[in-house]
Structure 1
C-alpha cells in the first residue's frame, strides 16, 4: 500500500554539520540507502553554498539538521532561521516530489537553550508552509534545562554512540511516517493553451 506514491529512487540524503557527518547511518538506519551530506563545521551559510550538490542527487527524501555552529559564530536567531527557510524553500522548489524532514536544532550546553528553542519554534511553524515534516528531537535528547543529556555526549555538543542511537530511534519512525504520506507537492503543469508542443 502506498507504493504508487514513491519516487523511483528511495535514497535518503542527510544534510547537516559534524553531528550528521559523524553518524554511522547505514548501521543506525538499517534498510535505508543513505547519502551523508554532513560536513564538520558547517553553518547555515555553508549549507546554502553547497545546496546544489544535494539537489543534483534528486533523492526521495531529505532530512535536514543545521544551525548549531551558527551559534558558535554568534549569528542571530533571525539569521539562522532565515537561512534554514531559504534552504527549505529552495529544496521544495527544485525537488517538488522529494519528501523533506526538518529536524529541530539539537540541544547543547544549556546556555544556548533559549536561542535554540526560539529557532526551533520558528522552524516548527515554517515547515508546513513548504510541505515538510517536522521532527522535534528535544524530548529524547535534552534535559529539563535544555542541556544535551550528558549520557549522550562528552563535550556538551557532539554525540557519542548512545546519543546517535537515541537520535536514530527518533529519526527512523519519523522517516516512516513521512514515507506514508502522498508526495509533498506536485510540479505545476500549465494547460496547453497554444496547441504547440
Structure 2
C-alpha cells in the first residue's frame, strides 16, 4: 500500500537518484482505501523526494485499468486528480491508462488476473516508459 511506499521512498532517496518512477494505487483502491488517502500519499512522496533530493526527476505513472468496472471508475477519477497534482508540483505525469485498454477494461492479453501485468503487459509498459528512462 501507499503507506509502505512512503517508507520505501524515505529509505531510497538518500541515494539521490537521477530519476524516480512512482506507480501505485490499484491495490489501495481494491482494499477500499479512499482516493483522498492515496492522493495524500502521492503528495507526501513527491514532497519527500523534492526536499531530500531536489535534483531527482520525478515521474508519476497513472494507475492502470483493471477488469472491474467500478474500480476503473475510481481509477479514472484518481488519475485525473493525480495529473493535476503533478502539474501543480511540477513533476512529469505519464498517462499509461489508455494504452492498456481494450474496450473499457484492461486488455486481457496484458494481464494475468485482471489487475497484475502479464509478460506482454510488462513489455507494453516498458515500451511506453522507455523514452523517460533513457
- TM-score range, shorter-chain basis? over 0.9
The equivalent of 1:107 in structure 2 is: 65
CA distance in structure 1 between the partners assigned to 2:19 and 2:132 by the alignment: 12
Superposition RMSD on alpha carbons, in Å? 1.3
Unmatched segments (≥5 aa) in structure 2: none
Pair member with larger Rg: 1
CA distance in structure 2 between the partners assigned to 1:60 and 1:49 by the alignment: 19
Unmatched segments (≥5 aa) in structure 1: 1-42, 177-197
Higher percent of residues as helix: 2
Give deviations 1:120-157, integer Å, cap 9, x for gaps: 00110111222211110012112231x11101112001
The equivalent of 1:191 in structure 2 is: none
Counting matched residue pairs gives 133
- Is 2:14–2:53's contact at 8 Å kept on the other side of the alignment? no
2:117 to 159, 164, 180: 159
The equivalent of 1:80 in structure 2 is: 38
Structure 1 consecutive aligned stretches of length 4 or more whose deviation exceeds 3 Å? none
TM-score (norm 1): 0.64
CA distance in structure 2 between the partners assigned to 1:88 and 1:115 by the alignment: 22
CA distance in structure 2 between the partners assigned to 1:65 and 1:168 by the alignment: 13
CA distance in structure 2 between the partners assigned to 1:44 and 1:65 by the alignment: 10
TM-score (norm 2): 0.92
